[in-house]
Amino acid sequence: MKSSSPFLVVAGARPNFMKVAPILREMRRRNIPCRLLNTGQHHDPALSDIFLKELGLGKPAYNLEVGSGSHAIVTARVMERCEPIIQKLRPRAVVVVGDVNSTLAAALTAAKLRVPVAHVEAGLRSRDRAMPEEINRIATDHVSDLLLTPSSDANANLRQEGIPNSKIKLVGNVMIDSLQLALRRKNRGLSAPKGDYFLMTFHRPSNVDSRDGLKRLAAFLDSAARLLPVHLPLHPRTQNRISGFKLGKLFTTTPRLHLHPPLGYFDFIHWLRNARGVVTDSGGIQEETAHLNVPCLIMRTTTERPICVTRGSSELIGEDYDKALSRLRRIRLGRWKQAKSIPLWDGHTAHRIVDALVRLKTEY
């Protein structure tokens, strides 16, 4: 592996594209050789193709098209299909982002081939190993050579697990780079809803994978829509569960509840910045609401981004929809905490990431 070899940047799920886009732009600006590998873990065009186009990533150099399946199947497919690419390319380093199955699979493959691994968004921990993403985060960090962290609590997590300081670099949150790009871009897509409204997203198994869970969600949405109109872009997983359980009427007959197909990134940010409040089980949205100072209720019992609670505008709600409704009443009245600035969430994280990558030791 020589300094003239390209970096191989890996993405595969919707949140990954917003994280790799600023990195690839910065590499291209500096004329640093790089290649994008799309694992195709999110094979639905609504979750991948539109993001590649909007973020200006261009056509990936490699597309594994692994599709959906169990955690084991997806991980195995990515490892099997990316191994010959890494063997042939011999990249300067493999750069992985986030915590999806593609992240772990590419990191493991590169490590076994003795190719350096850099993990962007390293060190995040929810302390909940029932979440597959938590296993991915831990394992990826422990096979990586460079751990690029978004916040000081992530550094502390890594040190607590015995990872030496020499491997850890605090760079900030690269999602904010993409967010600021979206804010600078004049919205040309779907206009945000008029007036005050709540924006909500749900896709995690704990919220949508059972009939009873979906019925509870529908009842909550009905109550929330009595406070303010609710706009709900439907993740394909959620849509499939609603259809599979034949619960469509519960979600389509509630006045002021508006269902939408998945939004493109720029549309979603435009809707997010104009919302009175957000209810979500997503990870990345916590970061975006913190930067935008939009009230955010997290419908999970844990978060790997506690800084979004301590310094941002989020509050952990768990699965308590009654609690969520009481918080929405406060949000509607403007009674919510103000987010504080978070160090290095400044739109220049990609610059610091690339600085760290070019200094990475590339020979074992």
85: domain CATH number is 3.40.50.2000
Q: What is the total count of domains within the chain? A: 2
* Residue 132 shares a structural domain with residue 69: yes
Domain range holding 281? 198-332
Tell whether 340 is covered by a domain: no
68 band by pLDDT with thresholds 50, 70 and 90? confident
Whether residues 235 and 136 share a domain: the answer is no
pLDDT at 188 over 70: no
Catalytic entry in 119, 203, 231, 351 = 203
If we measure between CA atoms, which residue out of 34, 14, 15 comes closest to residue 95?
34
Distance from C-alpha of 246 to C-alpha of 252, rounded to nearest angstrom: 12
- For residue 177, tell me if it sits in a domain: no
Please indicate, yes or no, whether residues 304 and 251 belong to a single structural domain of this protein. yes
User: Are 203 and 268 found together in one domain?
Assistant: yes
Confidence (pLDDT) at 1: 62
Confidence of residue 341 (pLDDT cuts 50, 70, 90): very high
pLDDT value, residue 236: 85
User: What does the pLDDT read at residue 48?
Assistant: 61
- Assess if residue 137 is contained within a domain: yes
Whether residue 277 sits in one domain with residue 160: no
Please check whether residues 155 and 251 belong to one and the same domain: no
Whether residue 77 sits in one domain with residue 162: yes
Distance CA 275, CA 347 (A): 22
| Domain co-membership, 223 together with 157 | no
Q: Above 90 in pLDDT, residue 67?
A: no
Q: Is the pLDDT of residue 93 over 90?
A: yes
> Based on the domain organization, do 300 and 349 belong to the same domain?
no
Distance CA(243)–CA(11), nearest Å, equals 29
When comparing pLDDT for 187 and 283, which is higher?
A: 283
For residue 99 the two structure tokens come to: 């915590």
Residue 165 CB neighbours (<10 A): 9
Tell me if 187 is assigned to some domain. no
Q: Are 131 and 19 found together in one domain?
A: yes
Q: Which of 107-111, 289-293, 360-364 shows the lowest mean pLDDT across its residues?
A: 360-364
- Inform me whether the pLDDT recorded for 363 exceeds 60: no
Q: Is 203 a catalytic residue?
A: yes
